[in-house]
Amino acid sequence: MNASASTSAVPGWFLDNAYLIPLIPAIAFVAILAVGKRIPDLRVGRFTVPGGGSLIGIASMVGSLVLAAGAALQWIDYADGHSYTAPIRRTWVWWQSGGIEIGLGQQIDGLSVMALLLVAFISTLVQIYSLEYLKGDRRYTHFFAALTLFSSGMLVMVLAENMVQLILGWELMGLCSFMLIGHWWEDGANSRASLKAFFTVRTGDVGLLVGTAIVALSAQKWINANGLQDQYSGFSIEAISRWALAGDPQYKSVITWGAVALFIAAIGKSGQFPLHTWLPDAMAGPTPVSSLLHSSTMVVAGVFLVARIYPVFFEGLRILDTDVNFIAVIGGVTIIVAALLAFVQTDIKKVLAYSTVSQLGYMMMGLGVGAWTPAVFHIWTHAFFKCCLFLCAGSVAHSGSHHSFDMKKDMGGLARKMPVTFVCWVVSSMALAGVPFFAGWYSKDEIIDFAGANQYWWFFGIGIAGAFLTTAYMTRATYLTFLGKPRGAAAGIHEDSHGDAHAAHGAADAHAAHDTHDSHDDHGAHAGPHESPWLIKAPIAILAVLSIAAGLLNAPALNIFKFEEWVEPKAEPVLLDTGYASEGTGDYPESSKEAHSEGAARSALVSAGEEPAEGEKKKPGYPNGRIEEGKLTGKCGTPGYVPPEGKACYAPGILHHKFKWVKALPALAAVVIGLLLSAAFCVLYYQRRNRRLVGLTERNALARAGYKFLWNKYYLDHLYEKVIVRGVAHPLARAMYWVNQNILDGIVNGAGRTGRKVGEITYKVVDQGLVDGVVNGSGAAARGTGSALRPTQSGKVSQYGALLFAAAALAALILVLVNS
Amino acid sequence: MLVNQFLLLGAVLFAIGVYGVIARKNAVLVLMSIELILNAVNMNLIAFALRNGGDAAGHTFALYIIAVAAAEVGVGLALVLLVYRNRRSIALDELSEMKG
Amino acid sequence: MLASSGLVAQNIAFGIVALMMVVGALRVVTSKNVVHAALWLVLVLAGAAAQYIILSAEFVAVTQVLVYIGAVTVLFLFGTMLTRAQLGKAKDLNNKNWALGIPVALLVLGTLVYVLIDTFGDDKVVDNPGDVPNVPVQAISDSIFKPYLLPFWALSFVLLAALVGAIVLARKD
């Protein structure tokens, strides 16, 4: 079809044909559904080749992975050799109607290449893991089909050239997550969880549609005004980026509203406060699903969206330009809120789920404080260690705790029985906690560092507090799962008698270690904790290694900046460590020197503790570039900046800061303190049963209130289900009928009923309110009103019709009157 | 010819159709009222097409609407038939299963 | 008003047909007899076809006659018979609170009239009475099969689905 002209610059086959990466799993999905059930298991000697179409899924993911790796290598080659790397786009017409043309395409840049590789890699490992984990499952074939389509959806999204395609991938993922979370839908809780996930995300998706409409229409206007019609459609992501960065004052408020709407979508998808409640419930799905969902796909999609069209947020929410912004606040709140919740969970997967929410908060906060590269890098590192943690949890449930995820009841002391799982868990936990030289440290510390260096001190503090909390809850989870005394299933209690014998056997097995699992089955007893088979161990081990190694791509402490070079958009000639050019001049070397000295003067001013001049709202050093040993790549996004001829701004310049151990110290201290405190607490509380600590929540009212507040997840679910849904949606409709019916039914009848209702409401409000506290009480009040108004709901179509037309006409009238 | 004479005719038909949808009990009559509404819309499309110098797009969509209306009547009457078969009545106000 | 806007014959035709249509439409929603209502509907639909001809949209007018008057009305009459509605007068064709329809319809009408008059005022359909543009059938087919092919496809699916759906729903088993 008609590929766009920019393909000529494509530096290789893999990049040119990147569209194959999502296409292969999409085809595999159809293939699995079509023939999967007819493929039987094959026995080849000692091995069983699994049937059911799972191998088709794995083969497709491996194919995608190979292509993604090829693309990554070629991109690296390309990025290393160029100082200006505009995204490489290739588009085909998908459909057109009237004057509107919607394309499918691929946009290759560092971000998409990174995400492609990440998604393909994690998906492959998770599918391999699922071979064993889901063995013999009722809907084995459907599981693999959905998993494959899920990966395909994410791949479509990360490769998206335009917003419509992005929405396509986004929705594909939403659908598949619904199918996968409710995989065991026979259990009511699971199907409820999948519905909740679906609807909560849909709530945010409204923002995506509205935001896309706002942004795309204005971008189209801008394109037409600038004569770029041949190059872009309004939906094109690159066009939207350029439009946002062009800084045309007439679009200022449009960009802001677009950014807010789109960020609401990101809140829903990425489980940010206050729409995070679906994420922990999504643990109802099989563990491989949780693992995939929480590492590289689905929840990352929201962060990816923000990173993808960062200019819209950068300009719309005035990142770096104001002291506080929407994204940073939501991210910061999420970090703390979710991390606190992780403390009261007894389900190991829920601890990890809240930890994911919290880490996503880090990414969002990073994007909010202008730390684009660290935030994206955190997507990268987080995927490996979080995936590993989930798979470890699955391994524990699979082989150690007899399919229970309850840390308090069924785990403990598993370290010796499952050494590989334990080691991998500890390694990835350390990566998560941000222990130096593990992957998570490089990215998380960079985010915190950026927050400080960009003068967002509040968020700097939140980042450090988050690091403290992360370490503490992971220590608790580790202790409960792997250390201490075995409890419940971990102690083999569900078994008849030989629990102790089994423990001894487990210890022996631990010495025999890694690969001798096969012999284990010979013991006959299926139950009792033991190490998992190699199909489970291998992915975990690979991921654990990567939990260390993945961080080495961008290790400021070791002076490695590969990730930065490859992934960060090079919007214009990069100025490395030479300071920066002053605005508007094309002559870099000279003016940069001059500006550098000016910057140094400024930095001296700031370090002396003086506030910038009164009324100056801008961050010190901005827009003139970041102060002090700054390494500035590009200055797009700074007011009044015009890119040189032939080049365009499609990403804001990212301000880098030099790594210093001194700056990393507070976070490190937080980690150490968190570790020590939490370990001490665990030993005292869970092992020694210290009398002062045990039962504290029963004795101390404050502790009890806090615990109850956390235990009920801040009553957010309560708020949504009882107050908002019942309290707003239902009564509104009912109230209208109530008025209607009461007029028709006569006043006497109505008066009597009203009296009863008032009594009922009062009873509910006063009684329930006093007993259950304020939040609970308002829920009950809503419920009371709701049920009191219930009989008035008529169910008659003609009345619904009348309401519909009247409401539409009124809305139209109001719109007309307001606008005229 | 004013544009408005056609548009206002359309508006009147639309409002009459709305009244019919709300007031009528017999499901077949409600479907007829919906036809009135659809015709009112078509009237607008054709009037605007002429006003835009004979734009064929307006005619195209008028034709599409006619086709959709035909499909709608087909399915609608099938539904009505089904309801009738199950309840021996097509009075809409007796269908209050949606009552909450 | 008629004389000032030119095209006198068309205006007179419009007036007569419009009156017919409004009366017909009113009878559709007030008639106490379902069969009569269907026949009044025929009058409205035929009137609409006439208006299309006045607006020089012959193809749409012909389609209107074929599809609406030919097919849809017959469907309605079939539906009436199959559901054994009283063929004669019936007292309970209206809902109990049918009066609710009047204010809502008036609200809708008021809004529309206000907006239309506010927006279009005295705009004419054609500026010169002499050159009423002609839309040939070829232009319509070009429009259907070129820029609006996608809706056409979607429509085909809708019709197919309607066909299957109607059969499934109405089938006796």
Contact A222, A262 (CB under 8 A): no
Q: Does C50 touch chain B (CB under 8 A)?
A: no
Residue type at B89?
A: S
Long-range residue pairs from C130-138, CB within 8 A, at least 24 positions apart, any chain:
C132/B50, C132/C7, C132/C56, C133/B50, C133/B53, C133/B54, C133/C56, C134/B54, C134/C56, C135/B49, C135/B54, C135/B55, C135/B56, C135/B59, C135/C56, C135/C57, C135/C59, C137/C59
d(CA A147, CA A144): 5
Among A148, A167, A165, A157, smallest CA distance to A65 is for A148
What's the confidence (pLDDT) of residue C88?
59
Contact A352, A289 (CB under 8 A): no
Question: How many alpha carbons fall within 13 Å on the CB side of residue A117?
Answer: 22
Mind telling me how many Å the CA of A177 is from chain C's nearest CA? 28
Interface contact flag, A812 C111, Cβ < 8 Å: yes
Interface contact flag, B32 C123, Cβ < 8 Å: no
ipTM of this complex: 0.89
Backbone angles phi, psi at A167, to 5 degrees: -65, -40
d(CA A459, CA C22): 67
Looking at beta carbons, which residues of chain C come within 8 Å of A809? 104, 107-108, 111
For residues C93-103, average pLDDT: 79
Interface contact flag, B22 A798, Cβ < 8 Å: yes
d(CA C75, CA A128): 58
Mind telling me how many Å the CA of A807 is from chain B's nearest CA? 13
**Which stretches of chain A sit within 8 Å of chain C by CB?**
95-99, 744, 796, 798-799, 802, 805-806, 808-810, 812-813, 816, 820
For residues C67-75, average pLDDT: 87
Q: State the DSSP H helix or E strand holding residue A738, giving kind and residue range, or none if neither.
A: helix A730-745
Mind telling me how many Å the CA of A818 is from chain C's nearest CA? 13
Nearest to B99 among A795, A801, A802 (CB): A795
In degrees, to the nearest 5, what angle opens at C-alpha C95 toward C-alphas C90 and C99? 115
User: Taken in order A131, A137, A138, A143, is the CA torsion positive or negative?
Assistant: negative
Give me the percent of chain C exceeding a pLDDT of 90.
31
Radius of gyration of chain A (CA): 28
d(CA A228, CA A222): 9
Residue type at C105?
A: A
Interface contact flag, B99 A801, Cβ < 8 Å: no
d(CA A449, CA A813): 53
How far CA A563 is from CA of A110, A379, A430, A442, C147, in Å, comes to 9, 12, 21, 11, 45
Nearest to B56 among C68, C117, C142 (CB): C142
Cis preceding linkage at A274, omega within 30:
yes
* pLDDT one-digit tens code per residue, C34-57: 888 999 999 999 999 999 998 888
Among A158, A263, A157, smallest CA distance to A207 is for A263
Mind telling me how many Å the CA of C106 is from chain A's nearest CA? 10
Mind telling me how many Å the CA of A217 is from chain C's nearest CA? 20
Interface contact flag, A97 C149, Cβ < 8 Å: yes
d(CA A631, CA A482): 44
What's the confidence (pLDDT) of residue A516?
34
Residues of chain B with pLDDT below 70 are 95-100
Chains that touch A (3 or more CB pairs under 8 A): B, C
Looking at beta carbons, which residues of chain A come within 8 Å of C99? none
Residue of A nearest to B58 (CA): A98
Mind telling me how many Å the CA of C147 is from chain A's nearest CA? 5
What's the confidence (pLDDT) of residue A604?
32
Q: Does C53 touch chain B (CB under 8 A)?
A: no
> What is the C-alpha end-to-end distance of chain B, expressed in Å?
51
A42 forms beta bridges with A49
Q: Does C114 touch chain B (CB under 8 A)?
A: no
Interface contact flag, A809 C111, Cβ < 8 Å: yes
What's the confidence (pLDDT) of residue A618?
37
- Secondary structure of A621-659 in the HEC alphabet? CCCCCCCCCCEEECCCCCCCCCCCCCCCCCCCCEEECCC
Mind telling me how many Å the CA of A347 is from chain C's nearest CA? 47
Nearest to B99 among A98, A730, A794 (CB): A794
Which tokens hold the place of A662? 């001194």
In degrees, to the nearest 5, what angle opens at C-alpha C11 toward C-alphas C6 and C12? 130
**Which stretches of chain B sit within 8 Å of chain A by CB?**
18, 21-25, 57, 92-93, 95-100
Interface contact flag, A805 B18, Cβ < 8 Å: yes
Looking at beta carbons, which residues of chain C come within 8 Å of B70? 67, 71-72, 159
Residues in chain A: 820
Residue of C nearest to A798 (CA): C95
Backbone angles phi, psi at A565, to 5 degrees: -70, -35
Among A682, A786, A678, smallest CA distance to A738 is for A786
Distance of CA A176 to the CA centre of its chain: 16
Looking at beta carbons, which residues of chain A come within 8 Å of B98? 795, 797, 800
Chains that touch B (3 or more CB pairs under 8 A): A, C
d(CA A107, CA A115): 12
Interface contact flag, B47 C126, Cβ < 8 Å: no
Long-range residue pairs from A708-712, CB within 8 A, at least 24 positions apart, any chain:
A710/A340, A710/A341, A710/A343, A710/A344, A711/A344
What's the confidence (pLDDT) of residue A417?
76
Looking at beta carbons, which residues of chain C come within 8 Å of B73? 72, 75-76
Looking at beta carbons, which residues of chain A come within 8 Å of B83? none
d(CA A193, CA A728): 22
Backbone angles phi, psi at A42, to 5 degrees: -115, 140
Q: State the DSSP H helix or E strand holding residue C65, giving kind and residue range, or none if neither.
A: none
Interface contact flag, A809 C108, Cβ < 8 Å: yes
How far CA A299 is from CA of A174, A233, A456, B100, C14, in Å, comes to 10, 28, 25, 35, 60
Pairing of β A631-633 and β A100-108: unpaired
Residue of B nearest to A99 (CA): B57
A655 forms beta bridges with A632
How far CA A606 is from CA of A619, A653, A655, A694, in Å, comes to 11, 22, 17, 49
Among A328, A272, A337, A274, smallest CA distance to A300 is for A272
Among A389, A592, A413, A442, smallest CA distance to A502 is for A413
Helix B27-51 / helix C34-54 crossing angle, nearest 10 deg: 10
Q: Which residues of A185-218 are buried (b: 16+ CB within 10 A; e: fewer)?
A: beeeebbebbbbbbebbebbbebbebbbebbbeb
Q: What are the residues whose beta carbons fall under 8 Å from the beta carbon of A232, sequence distance 6 or more?
A: A219, A223, A238, A239
State the best of B12, B72, B89 to mutate against chain C, taking most chain C CBs within 10 Å.
B12
Backbone angles phi, psi at A159, to 5 degrees: -90, -5
Q: How many CB atoms lie within 10 A of CB B83?
A: 19
What's the confidence (pLDDT) of residue B96?
65
Nearest to B11 among C94, C113, C165 (CB): C113
Residue with tokens 């890098």: A377
d(CA A165, CA A432): 33
In degrees, to the nearest 5, what angle opens at C-alpha A35 toward C-alphas A34 and A41? 150
Q: Does C154 touch chain B (CB under 8 A)?
A: no
Q: What are the residues whose beta carbons fall under 8 Å from the beta carbon of A251, sequence distance 6 or more?
A: A218, A222, A243, A244
Question: How many alpha carbons fall within 13 Å on the CB side of residue A237?
Answer: 33
Contact A663, A684 (CB under 8 A): no
Mind telling me how many Å the CA of C91 is from chain B's nearest CA? 11
Average pLDDT by stretches of 10, chain A with 820 residues? 44 82 90 81 72 82 90 84 75 76 83 90 88 80 88 90 89 88 82 83 86 88 82 84 80 86 89 81 83 84 89 82 82 87 82 88 88 88 89 81 70 75 86 84 84 81 87 84 72 45 36 35 48 79 86 78 78 41 34 36 34 38 37 55 68 72 79 80 68 61 66 65 60 61 54 61 53 50 57 63 85 81
Among A67, A150, A160, smallest CA distance to A108 is for A160
What does DSSP assign to residue A619? P
Interface contact flag, C114 A816, Cβ < 8 Å: yes
Among A316, A240, A301, smallest CA distance to A265 is for A301
